[in-house]
Amino acid sequence: MIDRNEVPKVNAGSMADIAFLLLIFFLVTTSIETDAGISRMLPKLPDKTNKPAVKLERNILRVSINASGELMVDNKVIPITELKSQTIAFLDNGGASQSEEGYCNYCQGQRDAKSSESPQEAVVSLSSDRQTSYGTYITVQNELAAAYNTLRNREAQRLYKIDFTEMEALYKNSETPIASKALWKQRIKKMKNLFPMKLSEAELK
């Protein structure tokens, strides 16, 4: 006799097959995507109203990359490993004297009269050749970003005892409470004002 009170057992033997099928489907149709990189703002197209700003030559760091990936900074050929320290020296120079407007009281550089006046004035001008490889270009962009991040980290450590990059990560983290987000936002903005990223790229011919 069949016991009517007993619940019949479902045969789960094919469960593994079903799961494997689903697994293989997802393996085939999806991919692990990279979604991180170096973010940049392109400049607006020039129109009649905004004239190009005239800068003193001492406030410009000219970085050029040639077709074979060699680097020239301020008319000297240097290995790419030195780009970061050169850029830091240039940005952190603070050449304006104490009596002048725009004196940089947090700069720790050489105060060289031939290099930049203050981080606010300093501009990095990047030019490359049409034949330059993209990998080299990214390396240069990465080193320039590293120079700015190092300086911003230094100031953030001095003022708030935390790295700039860490503040940015905290600001972007969705688990950070909104109240402290406002604080991070304000501090990040302040750090960016201390060392504003001014990168100018020439159009390639």
Partner 1 sequence: MSKFAKKKDGEVPAVSTASLPDIVFMLLFFFMTVTVMKDSSLKVENSLPSADQIKKLEKKDRVLTIYVGKPTPEYTKVFGTESKIQLNDKFADASDVGPYILMERAKKSEDLQNVLTTSLKVDKGANMGIISDIKQELRKVNALKVNYTTSSGDAFSNMQ
In what side-by-side order are the strands of the sheet with 71-73? 76-78, 71-73, 60-65, 123-128, 199-201
User: What is the x/- site pattern for partner 1, positions 84-123, by CB under 8 A?
Assistant: ----------------------------------------
Does position 168 bind partner 1 by CB under 8 A?
yes
Window 13-42: residues binding partner 1 (CB under 8 A): 15-16, 18-20, 22-23, 26-27, 29-42
Q: Nearer to partner 1 by C-beta: 8 or 26? A: 26
d(CA 40, CA 27): 33
Q: What residues are paired with 77 via a beta bridge? A: 72
Does position 10 bind partner 1 by CB under 8 A?
no
User: What is the x/- site pattern for partner 1, positions 128-167, by CB under 8 A?
Assistant: xxxxxxxxxxxx-xxx-xx--x------------------
Query: Residue written as tokens 């007993």?
Result: 6
d(CA 61, CA 67): 20
Let me know the angle formed at the C-alpha of 99 by 98 and 102, rounded to the nearest 5 degrees: 70
d(CA 107, CA 110): 9
Query: Which residues make up the interface to partner 1 (CB under 8 A)?
Result: 12, 15-16, 18-20, 22-23, 26-27, 29-45, 69, 80-81, 128-139, 141-143, 145-146, 149, 168, 172, 203-204
